[in-house]
Chains A and B, each alone.
Chain A
């Protein structure tokens, strides 16, 4: 096998373990993110998804093992929308340019920088709202502002925490298409998600974790009843629809029957 055919690793986690006050959040995880990857990390709440992202970003220190980042790798992080302080006094434009922290004195923007910001805002359809306060935006626009801020940093690796949590179907599609376009242009992407059908099933690579890695591969290989039961601790069924796996909760009919007080036939 020719090792040159494998794209360069941007991030390599070796036997990574992270813990908070002795409670292990991520246990013995080894995985790599390579140039051109588009990876979705899925798992139940408390499975260590966000901790793994933070370890990749370097904001959480491993208890053991290590994370190797490519030298001078430029990463940008899009936080969960829920974690943003929407009452903070910033406009869309101010939010986008704050990542270039070494530019300019006071709130001054150089002409060149303003043009670049305009381009990013145009790309994400935010030009018309650039002077608005971030609270005065629709859900989709709020999500895109933080993607715009990340892109303005000109990253090689884009890291997103739950980019579609709490958004409606249309916004989810918008975000997914935007990420697909960015990936086509060569950006490497890692994200976490709860949304198996709406998001994870569309990605080229899915990593299932429940503190440890349960499976890592294409959605067709990974989103199977056996893997999902190991990941979520609950039985799930998987259908194939239009060539894509669709995950269904087992026992949902039982709950519906109980709630509607129907008698079993």
Chain B
């Protein structure tokens, strides 16, 4: 029994995948706090689709994935900003237009020039087999960068996330803070997408953070509970995927979703008990 549980650790491809999935869970959990609290889920979803276009284009042209997809993500971000500035369109529609167009370009490019189905599937659903040492490094560096950024600028981030108008007046450079959060988000999607896949990455950004929100009323505590939940989902999901012979990324998301449901059910009962005891002052 125990031997079966430890069996996958004998394969280096599994260990690499496990490391990246766990780190990716933690990283997405951490940034997911901002995504959830600012109502940016759609941006996360859109950015991953935009990056898909970049990934396809760089594969076709033959340049490094990180460079090609990175530039593509920045260009998409700028385009979204420009289109959203025309007030009659609105940011959500701008994201919808730019990112789905980018996604469509990616699909068309891979159909026309790529090695057909296999590579498309790998990008859409992620691939653990393709994980290299470089991926572990990339995720680790970005995770460290994001963690340092959040610890150093904690109050500015909190203020700008909670109350951007007042933060601006009080001297916080909100536009700068927002740009940094967007950049961190793009970097996170860039380095985790090859493992988790375009279609499922936004779930990893949202589920651990939403789960942690139900567990605490404190922003500071959310910022460590959410990455811990994300990491657990990554670790447990990868192991379960091996034993159940299911897709790694889908199993990671399912693990996170099971956690969400469990917490939802538990806090629902607790919440109802608490409401019964509320006394008004």
Whether B152 contacts A59 by the Cβ 8 Å rule is no
Note all chain B residues with C-beta closer than 8 A to A89.
37, 213, 216-219, 221-222
Q: Is B169 engaged at the interface, CB distance under 8 Å to the other chain? A: yes
Shortest CB distance A99–B (Å): 5
Q: Is A112 engaged at the interface, CB distance under 8 Å to the other chain? A: no
Q: Is B171 engaged at the interface, CB distance under 8 Å to the other chain? A: yes
Question: Can you give 25 contacting A-B residue pairs, CB < 8 Å?
Answer: A21-B87, A58-B169, A59-B169, A76-B170, A77-B166, A77-B169, A79-B165, A83-B165, A88-B161, A88-B219, A89-B213, A89-B216, A89-B222, A91-B217, A94-B218, A94-B219, A98-B158, A98-B162, A99-B159, A100-B155, A101-B171, A102-B155, A105-B154, A106-B154, A107-B219
Note all chain A residues with C-beta closer than 8 A to B154.
104-107
Shortest CB distance A24–B (Å): 17
* B interface residue numbers (CB < 8 A to A): 37, 87, 151-152, 154-156, 158-159, 161-163, 165-172, 213, 216-222, 280-281
Whether B158 contacts A90 by the Cβ 8 Å rule is yes
The 5 closest A-B pairs by CB, nearest first: A107-B220, A133-B217, A77-B169, A98-B159, A57-B169
Note all chain B residues with C-beta closer than 8 A to A104.
154-155
Interchain CB contact (< 8 A) of B152 among A77, A79, A91, A105: A105
Shortest CB distance B85–A (Å): 11
A99 with B170, Cβ < 8 A, contacts A79-B163, A88-B37, A89-B37 known: yes
Q: Is A153 engaged at the interface, CB distance under 8 Å to the other chain? A: yes
Q: Is A45 engaged at the interface, CB distance under 8 Å to the other chain? A: no
Per-residue 0/1 for A146-166: is the Cβ within 8 Å of any B Cβ (1 yes, 0 no)?
Answer: 000000010000010000000
Q: Is A3 engaged at the interface, CB distance under 8 Å to the other chain? A: no
Q: How many A residues, CB 8 Å from partner? A: 32
9 new A-B contacts, CB < 8 A, other than A79-B165, A106-B154, are A76-B170, A77-B165, A89-B217, A89-B219, A94-B218, A98-B162, A105-B151, A105-B154, A107-B219
Note all chain A residues with C-beta closer than 8 A to B171.
101
Which of A77, A84, A101 has the most chain B CB atoms closer than 10 A to its own CB? A101
Shortest CB distance B29–A (Å): 15
Cα of A94 to Cα of B221 in the assembled complex, Å: 12
Per-residue 0/1 for A113-151: is the Cβ within 8 Å of any B Cβ (1 yes, 0 no)?
Answer: 000000000000000000001000010000000000000
